[in-house]
Amino acid sequence: MAQRVLIVGASVGGATAAATLRESGIETVMLERELVKPKPCGGAVPPAAFDEFDLPHTLIDRKVRTCAVTSPTNQQTVFPVQGTMPSDNDYVAMVRREVFDGFLRERAQNHGATLIHGTLTGLRVTASGVTATYHTPQGNEQTLLADVIIGADGAYSPTAKLLGLPPTIRAVALQERIALSPAWMDHWHDLAALYLGRDASPDLYAWVFPKCDHVAVGVGTGPQHTRSIRDLLQRFKARLGDMLDGGTVLLREAHALPMYPRKHLAYDRVMFVGDAAGLVVHTSGEGIYWAMKSGQMAAQVLSQSLDAPSAHQLRRYERLWWKQYGNMYAFLRMLQSWGYRNERQMEVFTAMCRNIDVQQLTFDSYMHKRMATMPWVAQLHMTRDIALNQLRYTMLERAVRQSSSPSVQLA
């Protein structure tokens, strides 16, 4: 039998891994349990994904060119989506996952990957291979043999669970697709907004993202507040006020997001990519690009190691990943714990977004996945601005605490 790879999950990570493996002529099977319902997601994708994975722009509902960040006291920073070297390629793509994932899955099939509609239910990995059991939609049990399995099955990763690996720590996000009046749709035309504050999210953020015929209104929060996710969304919608007036909820969708990477991304005959590997980045909760990139990198390493797919060989993917992206993950983790720690820090974070160098650096790293270097004068200005805002809000907070006057406010 030819060497064969089984990929569990044919969403962005799995479909990208499958297409990459097929480029090396490796027999590839994708097992996917859900072919109709879209993956719950804000659908914000950086231009890097379109450039690096050769994606057609017809997949994009809207190109966002303006971003707004609103603090707990409703101080707002509005700024263009622009890197240090502004170009027409500066935007945030808004996609619907049913369209985006459908394209990637079909492309993998066109490259020769097989798609099976079924749910993984059992797994045995031995020195000689992988035996997977799955249920068809009709309830029949089937068995598949493979040389290697790739877990691309999301934040709950049944593959990891069946192998006895611990679950990742998870955040949760809830989102509604809301069709607005033409006037309000026009308002959001190419604008994406992030909102900070305990009412909407104690430790992450809330968002409004524009799509073709609706806006996606959502909230995310860490493991300590997952039970209050519905209340958080209600409060966020109340905060948006008349912006949502007359809107019709088309869909309500929720899902988990991993907060930390797995200790290892590969084992003997097993690899993990995307959310199953815990590769969502902090601060933004972005995971689509990272699932695709990890799917591609895992497949490239695997195609060179298929003759001896030991943990040591397959962990070359893990080593390459952290060499290339370790600094970015560490920086964004630090930024999240600093910027979303409490409402004072959320005010500082919003004020920090007023600094043009911060804006451009942020978008360079988000849009093009590169950490831009910056002249020392700009670095000095940036550091001074952040330090002054930190001092200002710390003093204001102290004044609010000490004052009996309700007129002293954090803003």
Ligand X SMILES: Cc1cc2nc3c(=O)[nH]c(=O)nc-3n(C[C@H](O)[C@H](O)[C@H](O)COP(=O)(O)OP(=O)(O)OC[C@H]3O[C@@H](n4cnc5c(N)ncnc54)[C@H](O)[C@@H]3O)c2cc1C
Among the listed residues 8, 69, 130, 200, the single contact to ligand X using CB under 6 A? 8
**Binding mask of the shown chain, residues 206 to 245, with x at each position contacting ligand X by CB under 6 A:** ------------x---------------------------
Who contacts 85 (Cβ-Cβ below 8 Å, separation ≥6)? none
Q: Does 247 bind ligand X (CB under 6 A)?
A: no
Say which amino acid occupies 336. Answer: Q
Site for ligand X in 20-39 (CB under 6 A): 31-34, 39
What's the rounded Cα separation, in Å, for the pair 375 and 370? 16
Q: Does 298 bind ligand X (CB under 6 A)?
A: no
Among the listed residues 61, 90, 147, 153, the single contact to ligand X using CB under 6 A? 153
Other C-beta atoms closer than 10 Å to the C-beta of 354 total 15
What's the rounded Cα separation, in Å, for the pair 408 and 411? 9
User: Do 265 and 298 contact (CB within 8 A), yes or no?
Assistant: yes
Q: How far is the CB of 185 from ligand X (least distance, A)?
A: 19
**Stretch in the footprint of ligand X (CB under 6 A) among 184-192, 196-204, 281-289, 367-375:** 281-289
User: Do 10 and 103 contact (CB within 8 A), yes or no?
Assistant: no
Q: Does 255 bind ligand X (CB under 6 A)?
A: yes
Tokens of 228: 């209050």
Among the listed residues 19, 21, 22, 43, the single contact to ligand X using CB under 6 A? 43
Q: Does 19 bind ligand X (CB under 6 A)?
A: no
Nearer to ligand X by C-beta: 202 or 274? Answer: 274
Q: How far is the CB of 101 from ligand X (least distance, A)?
A: 7
Nearer to ligand X by C-beta: 130 or 276? Answer: 276
Q: Which residue has the tokens 């200002």?
A: 392
Residue nearest to ligand X (CB): 287
Say which amino acid occupies 287. Answer: G
Q: How far is the CB of 206 from ligand X (least distance, A)?
A: 11
Q: Does 287 bind ligand X (CB under 6 A)?
A: yes
Size of the site for ligand X (CB under 6 A): 37
Q: Does 173 bind ligand X (CB under 6 A)?
A: yes
Q: Does 154 bind ligand X (CB under 6 A)?
A: yes
Among the listed residues 4, 20, 38, 40, the single contact to ligand X using CB under 6 A? 40
**Stretch in the footprint of ligand X (CB under 6 A) among 63-71, 150-158, 198-206, 372-380:** 150-158
Who contacts 341 (Cβ-Cβ below 8 Å, separation ≥6)? 203
Q: Does 12 bind ligand X (CB under 6 A)?
A: yes
Nearer to ligand X by C-beta: 160 or 351? Answer: 160
Tokens of 103: 């394209």
Nearer to ligand X by C-beta: 10 or 352? Answer: 10
Q: Which residue has the tokens 């797919």?
A: 309
Q: Does 81 bind ligand X (CB under 6 A)?
A: no
Among the listed residues 9, 222, 247, 309, the single contact to ligand X using CB under 6 A? 9
- Residues interacting with ligand X, by CB under 6 A? 8-9, 11-14, 31-34, 39-44, 119-120, 152-154, 158, 173, 175, 218, 255, 257, 274-276, 280, 285-289, 291
